[in-house]
Structure 1
Amino acid sequence: MASTSQQNEEEPGSSSVVNPVDEVRAMTWGSELKEDVFLRWSQGFVFSDDEPMALLQYEGGPCAIIAPLQAFLVKNLLFSQESQCEEGTESWRQTNGDQRKHLLLCAMQDVISSVSSGSYFLVLQEDKQELTIENVAGSSDGEPTHVTFHRNLRIQTYKSEDELRGALMTTYHMFVGHGGVLLFLYSVLLTKGLAVIQEEMEDPSEPLIDGIYGHGNQCLINLMVTGRAVSNVFDHEKDVAGLQMKGISKQSLIGFLTILENLKYCEVGTLLKNPNYPIWLLASETHLTVFFSRELALVATETKWEEARRVFSEYDTEGSGFIQCAMLQNVLEALELVAVPEYVEFMTQRLDPEKCGIVLQNMFMAEFFPDEPDRLLPEYFTVYHYNGISRSNPNSKVMFLKGRGSAPNPGELEVLTEATPLKSCLRTKWPTFEADWENNVKPSIN
């Protein structure tokens, strides 16, 4: 283990050494850091008094860190061997004390380890006393809080996960104290490597946090969820006008869905829609929340029939149940079916005998995938939603809102209820998703 101070001495005959704290600060905030935005990010990881395992978010902005960490916390709470609890019970909601601390530390280690290439860095406060707004602001004559905060940072290096685990335990008080979210963010960035992050981003000059509104960008969210700071959420890479655009390279532990896909602004690939665990970040235009379940069938491997319906729906941009005949070849290619021009022309005539210029989804499925598989999802399943901002929760209490979800096959559906923002987000994965929430609450993704 080696320690690196925030200040680096000049080497004889050389220019001043670049300070890594200055570098990570510049990558995070850009050239200008507004005091009010910084203060919104200056909280620690704090648990709700009303839900022992729910993290609080005091102001808009740090959800880009808090929500992913909450998702990993839920993953460890529900699915680790040591945390298994009886099906049908909610004893996990009563976790407290040392076990709660342990699960938070495990979630932090999950994220840091996912970005590491062999070494680990923690950014810590110079003194081991928790800094508060009052004593930081009062430590310098009129100096902005963020200047004092960054001056009092040091960097600690570790060579193994065991060393990292021990260090997180001994410095736990710093991460739950004032500024803890930023200490964790900076630790993740330095462990990943700033140069590597810049290589993965499409625009390395763009700060990870918006300087005006304080929201984390998609690169930061992807880094927290997948370990890579790419700018896009589609699968693998895409050639767009000659540019290779980087997307998600492998299945993630935690998923991601966004209302922006419902609005046709982006495409979330299957690697994020179908994570290892039934836990998803839900993105509104400005905020991140968490949707989760204990029902592992929600992340079961997609069947060819389900894939075919999904791919067809991607080309049916209006959700009208048909595509233009001109798109048939694209659909066949996407499903790795025969797509030579002669065959496409033959199938076009077969699927559109009236020459209306469209291919109905039902006819397409009956022709290529006639045998619908047995239903994998149960008829109903228990779901939960988390929003860390108190004012976005019933009675301003941050709690896991519980509901009964369903996603019937389209042929079984009589009517689809009006879409709330939450449903619009979830229907990008389950087009027929419905939920009845306890006490008739309406979960907010804002």
Structure 2
Amino acid sequence: MIQNEYVENISASLVREYLSRKGLKSTLQAMDSELPRNDYSINNRAQLAKEIHISNLMKRNKEQDEPLRSMVEIMTKFFLEKHNKNNSSVPMNSSSTASLPASNGGAGKTSALYDHSEFAFSGLPPEDVSGKKAAKATVIHMPAQRPSSRFDDENEDDTRPGQSDLHSNSKKEVSSQKISRPSNSRRRGMSGPITSNLDDKSRKNKKKPSANLSGNSSLTFENDITSEYSNHIIDDYTDTKTHKTETKHSTTDSFQDLLHAANIRSSKLKEKKRNEKDTKSKEENQEIRRSRDLDERTSQERPQSQSGRRRKSSTKQALEKSTTLGDVEFGDVDDVDDGIKDHTGSKTVPYGLQTKVNFNSKPITLKQAMEIKNLIFGTSQSAFNDEWRAQGFGFSNTSHLEYGIVQHKGGPCGVLASVQACMIRQLLFGEGKLASPASLQPLTSERSHCLAGGLADIFWRAGSRKSATVCLSSGRPVFTAGARYKSDNLTETLNLNSFSSYEDLYNFLKANIGAFEGQNSPGVILSLYSVIFSRTVDKIIVDMDEPTNKLMGAHGYCTQEMVNLYLAGEAVSNVFNDIMELDSGGSEKMLLKGLSGRSDVGLLSLFEHYKSCEVGRYYKTPKYPIWVVCSESHFSVLFCIKKELVSDWRVERRFDLYYYDGLARQDEEIRLTIDTTQVNPTLPSEDDLVPPLELCIRTKWPDAVVSWNGSEPIL
């Protein structure tokens, strides 16, 4: 038997889908506030349609001249059309094997049934062709796919028959069939058509005349009420042939009397449940108001809680659990699209029912917001500019550049290039990957997963590979701003989701990647907040040479500390190895901090060519042949698909490097061939225009000859 919690989650998902398709964003946010989503919420239209078996209805709706937008409307139209057809006889087109009578009692007045087992509820005619009344049986065709095991009856001690057997049985045409019910069918969950338990008493000592099932009856709400006292069977007949069945039933009690008794009993039960729910709701609403008043007075952090637990009541969860799955909602997507959209229009991977993620979530406090803004800007009165606020990790649609993240305007290039480099590491050298030129043409889902993996690496590395924090917007302020803090409609809406497991971190990011991936979403800002909270503000201040340094440079540019935080997990101020002592002649020596170990992704700088800095081996020879290139205050990416380049000197004789710049609006793949074998090559003089990229490459491979292979050199 399907549990109420599963039904409640499906219903809530249908309502959310309706609100999203209708553009009722405020109402949807209010619903998410009062009825938070949980691990079992379905945020994918195709999955939701499959769960309630209306995929064919959705496809038929798309074929209409004026298709409806929401699932609720499509189902409502189906029921209304079915009700309007009650006055006309239509041949049965269902695979059902037992029927209920029409509620209006009209003999011979039937309605068409939808095929493909979608809403395939069938009924017995009120009277057979011979005029004899028969007791009626009820069959409700439920989806073949059972709910997740977390919704199963824990006391059920047997399994249902194989689905293949059910399908094979449904395709056999029979002229008559005895409908019987074994005594233990309720306990064992047996399949096949069974009669209503309302008929059990009258069948024991009565004769069982056959009833002609060749007719049809209408679908009414009385059928649903009666079905509450029937033994439901999960079935999935997809055969569209007409089945004619003869069934023996008792005629002692009239069906209308039984139906009337069922209606009375159901009404009393529903009224009792409604009264209990109203009483409980009033108590919970009072508790919510008391909790909100307390939060406003104290501005304290809400208690932490583990996610993944099943919700006992929506209101109680809103008080006791601040766990969030990100700001995701249904968007205007195709009916068979596997992705969903959030309110920013970004695609996101659906969060599956089977995925369980353990993490703690709490809202950001005013103190934390002020500290992080002071760290980034030097003052809590500043905010991100428009270039940062509208920059997400959206990908290119250009052929052979599908892996590339597109940058709209200048400013956050340091963050974008760093994330791009880590994403490429996942794409080429991730677990089970075999790098090749074909790897640079990923599918949409693959590059989204690689982006999630790249961000997970960055956050986990910043948390010393022990913990990480992911910041997502809740859509509404969680604290009241003071006079010393400037609101930006993002920082004050953050939820801080903390993880102690890399696997949980990756699954969470994969499920909520839409919050980062949107073309105009604040994905870059969310990633910066996440990497800062993963490292913690106090540790970042210690990392830097001067505690008064800030992460944001002039004109919204990224500082070296910010780039190092992404690439090395430490916000050190330099790019050389380890720590350098600077003797200023006094008693105290100044410590200049560099990288503490070999980085996964490297860095090359044009400033080293001009002798302004020194890039250490930790960056020049990273674990993977991927480098972020700093050239004239702009960051881009250079990489090789041969991992041996950083471990085997023989590979360095002649090799190819791929170059990508998200701001350059590349329209073709740029592949450079590097040759280090030529003796005394003719190098350009200082008067020649040499592409800065070549100068950066020669800081790693001196005197190398660089061939652009037909591409226009970038000057």
Answer whether TM exceeds 0.5 for this pair. Answer: yes
CA-CA distance at 1:268 after TM superposition: 0.7
Match of 2:561 among 206, 219, 222: 219
Distance 2:596 2:427 in 1: 26
Distance 2:403 2:381 in 1: 32
Question: What residue identity is the alignment partner of 1:166?
Answer: N
* Residues paired across the two proteins, number: 336
Name the residue aligned to 1:321: none
Larger Rg: 2
Correspondence 1:238-257 to 2 at 5 A: 238-241=580-583, 242-257=589-604
Preserved CA contact (<8 Å) 1:54 1:400 = no
SS at match of 1:439: coil
Distance 1:237 1:56 in 2: 36
Correspondence 1:325-404 to 2 at 5 A: 376-377=650-651, 379-389=653-663, 392=664, 396-397=665-666, 400-404=669-673
Distance 1:148 1:399 in 2: 38
CA-CA distance at 1:248 after TM superposition: 1.2
CA-CA distance at 1:438 after TM superposition: 3.2
Match of 1:416 among 683, 690, 699: 683
Preserved CA contact (<8 Å) 1:38 1:146 = no
Taking a change above 3 Å as real, the CA distance of residues 33 and 259 of structure 1, as seen in their structure-2 partners, is: farther
Name the residue aligned to 1:3: 361
Name the residue aligned to 2:347: none
CA-CA distance at 1:246 after TM superposition: 1.2
Correspondence 1:138-177 to 2 at 5 A: 147-177=488-518
Correspondence 1:253-268 to 2 at 5 A: 253-268=600-615
Correspondence 1:34-433 to 2 at 5 A: 37-50=385-398, 51-86=401-436, 90-117=437-464, 118-127=466-475, 147-177=488-518, 178-210=521-553, 212-241=554-583, 242-300=589-647, 376-377=650-651, 379-389=653-663, 392=664, 396-397=665-666, 400-408=669-677, 412-417=679-684, 418=688, 419-433=690-704
Name the residue aligned to 1:306: none
Question: What residue identity is the alignment partner of 1:403?
Answer: L
CA-CA distance at 1:146 after TM superposition: 6.2
Distance 2:539 2:642 in 1: 36
Structure whose residues are more often helix by fraction: 1
Q: Which runs of 5+ in 2 are unaligned?
A: 1-358, 477-484, 584-588
CA-CA distance at 1:36 after TM superposition: 7.2
Name the residue aligned to 1:438: 709
CA-CA distance at 1:34 after TM superposition: 5.9
CA-CA distance at 1:443 after TM superposition: 3.2
Distance 1:31 1:145 in 2: 10
SS at match of 1:148: coil
SS at match of 1:110: helix
What is the alpha-carbon root mean square deviation over aligned residues? 2.4
Distance 1:193 1:204 in 2: 14
Name the residue aligned to 2:74: none
Match of 2:373 among 9, 17, 25: 25
Distance 1:441 1:2 in 2: 50
Distance 2:494 2:452 in 1: 21
Distance 1:20 1:127 in 2: 18
SS at match of 2:498: strand
CA-CA distance at 1:103 after TM superposition: 0.8
Taking a change above 3 Å as real, the CA distance of residues 298 and 222 of structure 1, as seen in their structure-2 partners, is: same
Distance 2:474 2:674 in 1: 48
Distance 1:23 1:36 in 2: 15
Distance 1:414 1:185 in 2: 44
Q: Which runs of 5+ in 1 are unaligned?
A: 8-17, 129-143, 302-374
Taking a change above 3 Å as real, the CA distance of residues 33 and 299 of structure 1, as seen in their structure-2 partners, is: farther
Alignment identity in percent? 28
Q: Deviations over 1:290-319 (max 9, x none)?
A: 111123443136xxxxxxxxxxxxxxxxxx
Distance 1:36 1:218 in 2: 18
